[in-house]
Amino acid sequence: MPPKIRGMTANSATSLAKQSNLRRFTLMLSGEDAFDSEEDDRPVKGLPHERFLLGNLVPLAPVLLLGQTSQAVNPSEVIACLQPVHLHATRDHLILMGQNQIDLTQTESTELLKTALPYIEEDFQNPIQFQGQYYWFIAAGPFASLASYSIDQAHGRNIDWWMPRDTHEEGIAKRWRKLQNEIQMLWHIGSVNETREQRGMPSINSLWISGIGKLSDVQAPKVIQQSNHFYGSHPLLAGLGRLYNISHSEELNTQELAGSFAWLDNPESAWPTLSAALNDQELDEVLIIDFPKGKTRERLYKAKDLSKKTWAFWKKVQLLTWKEIISS
């Protein structure tokens, strides 16, 4: 196995590649929370890969907006992301379900927003800027100081930990909860949930706010800014592509690997292609970025690192599997 790169910053491996003009492919894996008891019993804002891509302020909303529309986005305007969600009731708390669990259609999303729109625009004191199937965007207005967590970070958990909260201005979280409750009541008696109930689908019973920030808050690492191409289906990559004028594709193009950055839904499926590219000298290095215990880790793999080390020299050389790489 290749040695782990210890003490390396998120930009240092990239700087080395830049200096030597190596043909490198970078693969980022999603990270999970590492709770820190010193953070006022609250998890750090943003999943590790969200903080890596955007910086510690994690301005998700404006980057997601940029990735879903061709319209201009004011870099100094604070944007909020709103998402219709299902809160699942257990015996003593509510759990936020992920967007991939609720099967929300475009028609339902449009109808839900139509019902809630007067209340949203009155409280935010701004019009909706863009409506997608899963994301609605609006200038944050009086909610600009609200601290919030993305659905990707909060889903499947007790929402008591993840509800938006005040930062430097008191009363904003309470104001949001009032609007949230009004919309919940509207949707409860609406036709969308009546139809969904007949289909056996979970009701859309709440509205989630997250990603509050502005484009000028984005602090992407050099590995992002100096890439030639992005691969991956998450709209964050499309937004970063527009922000830095870097081309983006959802599917991996095996003919354009060198200098690319990927965040893939199934990274294990790409490993045979990447290891073959190393062996065939189409790539010099593959950089894998992951987040054990919430900390950024970078590991470089060259062709010579793909073979399992063994003292039995007469045996056929075996290559590292993806499972062995991610478990190291």
Contact 210, 151 (CB under 8 A): yes
- The per-residue pLDDT of the chain, averaged, comes to 87
User: In the predicted model, what is the mean pLDDT of residues 201-205?
Assistant: 93
Kindly list the distances between the CA atom of residue 221 and the CA atoms of 49, 139, 226, 296, in Å, as whole numbers in the listed order.
11, 26, 9, 12
User: In the predicted model, what is the mean pLDDT of residues 162-181?
Assistant: 93
Rounded distance between C-alpha atoms, residue 123 and residue 101, angstroms: 29
Q: Which pLDDT score, from 0 to 100, does residue 316 have?
A: 55
Question: How many beta carbons lie within 10 A of that of residue 39, not counting itself?
Answer: 10
- 3 state SS of 49: helix
Residue 196 CA, distance from chain mean position: 28
Residue 279 CA, distance from chain mean position: 32
Contact 303, 25 (CB under 8 A): no
Residue of 100 and 58 predicted with greater confidence = 58
Q: Which pLDDT score, from 0 to 100, does residue 306 have?
A: 83
The closest alpha carbon to 17, from 238, 261, 262, 326, belongs to: 261
Q: Which residues contact 324 (CB under 8 A, 6 or more apart)?
A: 1, 308
Phi then psi dihedrals of residue 77, to 5 deg: -90, 130
User: In the predicted model, what is the mean pLDDT of residues 22-51?
Assistant: 81
Residue of 150 and 319 predicted with greater confidence = 150
In the predicted structure, residue 12 carries a pLDDT above the cut 80: no
**Strand ranges, E, within the chain:** 24-28, 79-85, 87-89, 94-96, 128-131, 136-139, 206-213, 229-231, 247-249, 260-262, 285-290, 297-301
The closest alpha carbon to 289, from 261, 249, 270, belongs to: 261
Q: Which residues contact 225 (CB under 8 A, 6 or more apart)?
A: 244
First to last CA, the chain: 8
pTM of the model: 0.87
Rounded distance between C-alpha atoms, residue 144 and residue 78, angstroms: 6
Question: What counts of helices (H) and strands (E) characterise the chain?
Answer: 11, 12
Q: Which pLDDT score, from 0 to 100, does residue 317 have?
A: 52
Domain range annotation of the chain: 12-32+221-327, 57-217
Work out whether strand 206-213 and strand 260-262 pair parallel, antiparallel, or are unpaired: unpaired
Q: Which two tokens stand for residue 256?
A: 């354009």
pLDDT tens track for 253-284: 999 999 999 999 999 999 999 999 998 999 99
Least confident of 28-42, 87-101, 137-151, 190-204: 28-42
In the predicted structure, residue 37 carries a pLDDT above the cut 80: no
